[in-house]
Structure 1
Amino acid sequence: MRLKFGFHAPSLALVAIAMLSSSAFAADEAVKVGLVTRTDSNPFFVKLREDAQAYAKTAGAEIVAITGKTHDDAAGQVAAIEDLTALGVKGILVTPSDAEALNDAIAKARAAGILVIALDGRVSPDSAVDATFATDNLQAGVLQGQWVRAALGDTAPRVALVDGTRGTVSTRERHDGFLKGFGLQEGAPEIIAQQNISNQAEAQTALENFFQKDPTINAVYTVYEPAAVSAHAVTSALGLAGKVAIGSIDGSCDGIKAVADGQVGATVVQFPGKMAELGVQAVVDYAKTGAKPSGFIDSGAVLVTDKPFEGITSQDSAWGLKNCW
């Protein structure tokens, strides 16, 4: 059953919506920008939406924001794109929950003259959207992997991998980047445990199982910071605090505080505000001039740690607290 305006009640939570004028765009008319994020339970997506809304006010735009229930709510995102297409927004910004599941809905939106931009993660193929504004997740993974390997020194690595939602490009790229930065091949014997998770509760359970089966694990890759905090909690409970190198990716203020407190060894900061600003401005420019962005635009990634190593560029947690989200 659909709610008014056609949104699917089981899959989506309506954050903000406005009726669209059927008139052509005018100079004094707000540009309608659809924003489809994965979930409201992750501070990253909350920050991205808040910054998009704030920037829209200064850019002559209005955000129509919708969020899915979970990180892997691809069906909900498809429904959102379809409904935004029917509403006639000028552009759609989407943080894809799946690399390919949204492609048909995106193609229909683009055929209707709507600019579609992926934020935070890629779709496959990249050409399915007009452009992608995101962290270079492969490089973010490389930075984490380099630091975790350096933190082990001469100790033989025994690595656990906490990966993200299965099927997303960002999950694969961060994973591959970590292995590259660490110097491991897929399936290497040094990889003791591995699991895909979609929330912190799953991460906590996975990590508890990892260390119960093998308490000799000495390095943990985490796809995002809530999982890294869980890794600290699990290792602390087992008396292993300070004996396991824990790295992550995100750049939330809570994550940076965890680095400052010594719970997490290092994290890689992303910039959701920059993604949001670039995306909104691109839609506004398209509405006014017809110009479209193309390709992949890197929004940046910076390693933050209070335990730096020579040859690995990083900033400290004081810098991180000034630049976190």
Structure 2
Amino acid sequence: MRHSTLHNRSVRRTLAIALAGSTALALGACNRSSSSDTAGSGGKAAVGVSLITKDSTNPFFVAMQKGAKADAAKNNVKLTVASGKQEGDDQGQITAIENSVARGDKGILITPMSTGVNAAIEKARKAGLFVIALDTPPDPASTVDITFATNNRNAGKLDGQWAAMQMDGKPAVIALLDLFNDKIVSVDYNRDQGFLEGMGIPVNDPKKNGDEAKTGKYTGGKGGDYTIVCNEAGQGAEDGGRSAMEKCLAKNPNINLVYTINEPTAVGADKALKAAGKTALIVSVDGGCAGVGSVKSGVIGATAQQYPLKMATLGMEAIAKIARGGEKPKTTPGLDFFDTGVALVTDKKVTGVDSITSDEGSKICWGN
């Protein structure tokens, strides 16, 4: 009976996510219809907007760029797409921000690299541009006008809660594969710290990775002993994930639980484990189409799915609306950003943690 109840709840959650996306698109369609009709009759010119992602190779940002281009045409937006050369390229994003201001754009959609781009964002806002963050809330949140993002803390907690149940009281020997070790990024510490909280491992500074006790008791699931072997930066890439995992295994070859900042990192970690003849439970975040495939194949045990196309759609509609005199969007009650939703994708369902299957996740990956 409990299994049936959880299954029904999962299905309802999936339908709710799809309905939320449909509602947002429907509302946006109303706004787009008004703007496009006016523009088509010569009443209003196209609005200049820049989308600035962290890079243009990560499937997450590729999907976001694709969605933004489609929404730009619908909203009569003249879109310029730019990015850093790779994760960590603050200067690449700063240059793109400065170019947007010089071009006379009305707004910027950005997945901020780190606090290193805050000053450039603030200059753009002083110049009159409306700036919306996507995916990565800046620190502090007030750096931008609003953020459309996953609740990354909750995403990490879902991973941790699921992992604690899977450990079933056994000692957890943990590797934490983060994004950076030299930059402060909210998505980085929120996912990492959320995972630990989900495991029932006390954290110290909630905005700092690696300062928690390295040994102790986890209280999630049946509870048990834990050892944190490492916090290594994988730069959000497969190669980085592999080298980070290799460093962790060199410290302790008995790692049996791996948290990863995203799915490319998880794939790299899996390759390092296989090369060393080891196995471990891997959890991650993104829920992209390839990542869901990795869940189905068993490479990743569970991943928290987010919806970049929805972020791009809502951001594009908001800037187009504001540029034409409309109201500014509001944050989700109780949060300092607009929550675009999250769902845990796994084919190993556990009691007490809502989830959807890889088959269900594949139907809505990236927010399709």
Same-fold call, TM > 0.5?
A: yes
- Amino acid of the residue matched to residue 268 of structure 2? S
Indicate yes or no: 2:156 matched with 1:149: no
- Which position in structure 2 is the counterpart of 1:187? 213
Q: Structure 1, residues 210-266: CA drift from partner, whole Å, max 9, x if none?
A: 22332211100000001111222222333333xx21100011111111100111100
- Amino acid of the residue matched to residue 255 of structure 1? G
State the 1:290 CA deviation. Answer: 4.4
Q: Structure 2 vs 1, CA of residues 236 and 119 (structure 1 numbering), >3 Å: closer, same or farther?
A: same
What TM-score comes out, normalization by structure 1 length?
0.88
Q: Check the 8 A contact 1:130/1:293 in 2, yes or no.
A: no
Measure, in 1, the Cα distance between the counterparts of 2:288 and 2:47.
30
Secondary structure of 1:161's match? Answer: strand
- Amino acid of the residue matched to residue 175 of structure 2? A
Indicate yes or no: 2:269 matched with 1:269: no
Secondary structure of 1:324's match? Answer: helix
After superposition, the CA RMSD in angstroms is 1.5
Measure, in 2, the Cα distance between the counterparts of 1:238 and 1:73.
32
Gapped regions of structure 1 (runs ≥ 5): 1-24
State the 1:149 CA deviation. Answer: 1.4
Gapped regions of structure 2 (runs ≥ 5): 1-38, 203-211, 216-226, 332-336
Measure, in 2, the Cα distance between the counterparts of 1:290 and 1:311.
42
State the 1:62 CA deviation. Answer: 2.1
- Which position in structure 2 is the counterpart of 1:309? 350
Measure, in 2, the Cα distance between the counterparts of 1:103 and 1:213.
36
Secondary structure of 1:194's match? Answer: strand
Q: Check the 8 A contact 2:232/2:248 in 1, yes or no.
A: no
Q: Check the 8 A contact 1:53/1:62 in 2, yes or no.
A: no
The answer to which structure has the higher helix fraction is 2
- Which position in structure 1 is the counterpart of 2:269? 231
Q: Check the 8 A contact 1:223/1:249 in 2, yes or no.
A: yes
1:173-252 residue pairs with structure 2 within 5 A? 173-185=190-202, 186-189=212-215, 190-198=227-235, 199-241=237-279, 244-252=280-288
- Amino acid of the residue matched to residue 51 of structure 1? G
Measure, in 2, the Cα distance between the counterparts of 1:302 and 1:323.
10
Measure, in 1, the Cα distance between the counterparts of 2:51 and 2:276.
43
State the 1:279 CA deviation. Answer: 0.4
Q: Structure 2 vs 1, CA of residues 116 and 59 (structure 1 numbering), >3 Å: closer, same or farther?
A: same
Measure, in 2, the Cα distance between the counterparts of 1:266 and 1:83.
40
- Amino acid of the residue matched to residue 192 of structure 1? V
Indicate yes or no: 2:336 matched with 1:300: no
Secondary structure of 2:299's match? Answer: coil
Indicate yes or no: 2:294 matched with 1:258: yes
Secondary structure of 1:257's match? Answer: helix
Indicate yes or no: 2:320 matched with 1:284: yes
- Which position in structure 1 is the counterpart of 2:359? 318
Measure, in 2, the Cα distance between the counterparts of 1:227 and 1:107.
31
Q: Check the 8 A contact 2:266/2:284 in 1, yes or no.
A: yes
- Which position in structure 1 is the counterpart of 2:174? 159
Secondary structure of 1:40's match? Answer: coil
Indicate yes or no: 2:60 matched with 1:44: yes
Q: Structure 2 vs 1, CA of residues 104 and 238 (structure 1 numbering), >3 Å: closer, same or farther?
A: closer
State the 1:294 CA deviation. Answer: 4.3
Indicate yes or no: 2:154 matched with 1:139: yes
Secondary structure of 2:172's match? Answer: coil
Q: Check the 8 A contact 1:130/1:294 in 2, yes or no.
A: no
1:17-32 residue pairs with structure 2 within 5 A? 27-32=43-48
State the 1:28 CA deviation. Answer: 3.9
Q: Check the 8 A contact 2:238/2:266 in 1, yes or no.
A: no
What TM-score comes out, normalization by structure 2 length?
0.78
Measure, in 2, the Cα distance between the counterparts of 1:110 and 1:78.
13
State the 1:174 CA deviation. Answer: 0.6
Measure, in 1, the Cα distance between the counterparts of 2:121 and 2:327.
19
Q: Structure 1, residues 127-171: CA drift from partner, whole Å, max 9, x if none?
A: 111001111111101011111111111211111100013321100
Give the total of aligned pairs: 298
Measure, in 2, the Cα distance between the counterparts of 1:305 and 1:57.
36
State the 1:293 CA deviation. Answer: 2.5
Indicate yes or no: 2:91 matched with 1:75: yes
Q: Structure 1, residues 43-64: CA drift from partner, whole Å, max 9, x if none?
A: 1111101100111111221211
Q: Check the 8 A contact 2:240/2:268 in 1, yes or no.
A: no
State the 1:68 CA deviation. Answer: 0.9
